[in-house]
Structure 1
């Protein structure tokens, strides 16, 4: 959590506090020690609970960071698109779930992948299964995506009759294998307390378990797959679930901090932004770091809507988030930072501030690469 007392800072020295990194524009910086600690902690928790750990790689989108997972016995992963699956397949990942409704228009690309790896895709209707069957010519594993109350995508959990028809359709095609039921409890992100998050997860877990009990007499080896970082971080019981697919935990962010999923010292990325204008009369400054660098995700912090918290980078990391300084507004390239006068007077033009993102998945996606605290460039997948 944030410190109880205001942090005191000396006049900022860009060169000494950036380990020689030459930063002159918004740059996504990663603390690899924090990232590895987050991976190790989650992998241990999943293993201790006897779960298949299939982390979602859409957060970091990086071969380099994905390889850290291998150190902790992770051999399977989740992605959010066919092209992202291809990116990780290039680096030797051979069991990949695309946790997004299967896009029949990418059947050719799915065929190419399925010829090289175990590819797992999502369906939620007989129509989707039939369309895929007319275009897929390689072995593919299919999960039925189940909506347990998030109301985004998937077949509603009570619609067991339709699910039976979907399963029958799946097993009728030579290239298809029925894997089980998959759900994302994304509504944990809107909960107001850790207790509510765990309660919602438990309810969704029971709904999937009911499906497994219903269909197990006829279909063996049904896998129940769930995944979200708040639940994976906070829940202690995973009874009935076979697989978890959290992703955001690798970096965490302010949204997770506000939910109680992590501490500020677990946040693994920050966007380093130059100060380009200072307005003491408004208790504000402007950073070169706007919506195209941070995203426009916001969260409520101490009864204010904010787009990020800020700190002075130190010689060994991001520094401590300042208690009363925050990104209060964003346009395309501009970031407006509000802070008390006694903090503002320590800042000069050309200084670098570290901005802790509200939603690290979107922030990472917006940036072409990451930079380690040692100044090493880490390449990543580009969505577009």
Structure 2
């Protein structure tokens, strides 16, 4: 398949934009003397992993053991699984640790007890801290639980403490003032924990992992490492909250036009929830927005001066609320692009990419279905 012969929905990836995003984050990490350990759950691609290496990335973050196994073939210095560890996968973790430096995330004593009794290869662990998100993690002031985890882990010589990890996921739903506040909470929490435990663990690391704070903020005192993921592609959500511009979005879902309703100024495309997922934004007038239309030209896409957007979505269908400009410039059988609301979910749905140069690019989910 080439870029110009697209006949069905496929996710188009612009390598130039992606590399620009990588370069900008790598420069920011260098400026603040931070170790960049990007989260690969957004792209889930060996090829994009190679691009990351070009910007000095040596360690990576993933969200599952399956993802760690996939990327282990690239021999990273370390792969961190940033999800509360599932003890049912202890045997598989042991097996992976034989050939790949690995670290995991712990949030309770029970899982730590299971691992301490079974791990027989070196495995690092971060203690995940909840500093306001409320999804998972040890409460930042719960020193009793933090120290229970440390105490249990210390019974197994193969388990070693790496530090504290915070993913402030609520920053994805905040305005600029909210993001500033969340970032300060994260910084304060990590600095406090490092000050408290540094004498016992002089090499402990503090890591922050959300794209909005890593993209927008410029004070990382108390933080040693950053692990954003969405920044490689960005999306409409990130553009709306100010993490990026729409020009920084590196992926667009190519969809065929199958019908046009001129009277209603609506366009039906083959592109629905199974392609984009069903994440949504709310427009200023209260309408729902499942993705914004771009038009392909010269192996790239162009933003439209009068935005058109997917107003409703079902499994395979997407209905576009079209501007006058769009209606005049497309016809049935054309292929147009949709900038995703949430690029991580869209990439996961699609399971592969085609580059703007026509190269098929791998994705873990596509590989898993072979």
TM range (shorter): over 0.9
Q: What corresponds to 2:96 in structure 1?
A: 113
User: Does structure 1 retain, via aligned residues, the 8 Å contact 2:128–2:166?
Assistant: yes
Q: What corresponds to 1:355 in structure 2?
A: 338
Residue 122 of structure 2: which of 131, 139, 146 is its match? 139
Matches of 1:20 and 1:138 in 2, distance apart?
A: 46
Q: What corresponds to 1:232 in structure 2?
A: 214
User: Does structure 2 retain, via aligned residues, the 8 Å contact 1:309–1:321?
Assistant: no
1:342 deviates by 4.4
Residue 236 of structure 2: which of 240, 248, 254 is its match? 254
Matches of 1:150 and 1:41 in 2, distance apart?
A: 27
- 1:290 aligned onto 2:272: yes
User: Does structure 1 retain, via aligned residues, the 8 Å contact 2:62–2:81?
Assistant: yes
Residue 185 of structure 2: which of 196, 203, 217 is its match? 203
- 1:185 aligned onto 2:185: no
Q: What corresponds to 2:282 in structure 1?
A: 300
Post-superposition Cα deviations, 1:51-105, rounded to whole Å, max 9, x if no partner, equal: 1110001111111111111111110000000010011111222300000010111
Q: What corresponds to 2:150 in structure 1?
A: 167
Q: What corresponds to 2:78 in structure 1?
A: 95
- 1:28 aligned onto 2:20: no
Matches of 2:234 and 2:14 in 1, distance apart?
A: 12
1:345 deviates by 3.3
1:236 deviates by 0.3
SS at match of 2:105: strand
1:299 deviates by 1.2
1:281 deviates by 1.7
User: Does structure 2 retain, via aligned residues, the 8 Å contact 1:280–1:341?
Assistant: no
Task: Report how many residues are paired.
Answer: 366
Q: What corresponds to 1:276 in structure 2?
A: 258
1:252 deviates by 0.4
Matches of 1:19 and 1:128 in 2, distance apart?
A: 48
Post-superposition Cα deviations, 1:249-293, rounded to whole Å, max 9, x if no partner, equal: 000000000011101111000001000111112110110000000
1:321 deviates by 3.6
Matches of 1:163 and 1:223 in 2, distance apart?
A: 15
Residue 138 of structure 2: which of 141, 155, 158 is its match? 155
Post-superposition Cα deviations, 1:162-220, rounded to whole Å, max 9, x if no partner, equal: 2112111111212100111111000101102x232122111121012111112223222
1:316 deviates by 3.9
Gapped regions of structure 2 (runs ≥ 5): none
SS at match of 2:145: helix
Residue 340 of structure 1: which of 311, 316, 323 is its match? 323
SS at match of 1:168: helix
Matches of 1:234 and 1:318 in 2, distance apart?
A: 26
Q: TM-score, normalised by structure 1?
A: 0.92
Post-superposition Cα deviations, 1:347-374, rounded to whole Å, max 9, x if no partner, equal: 2110111000000000001112100111
Gapped regions of structure 1 (runs ≥ 5): 1-17
Q: What corresponds to 2:87 in structure 1?
A: 104
1:300 deviates by 2.2
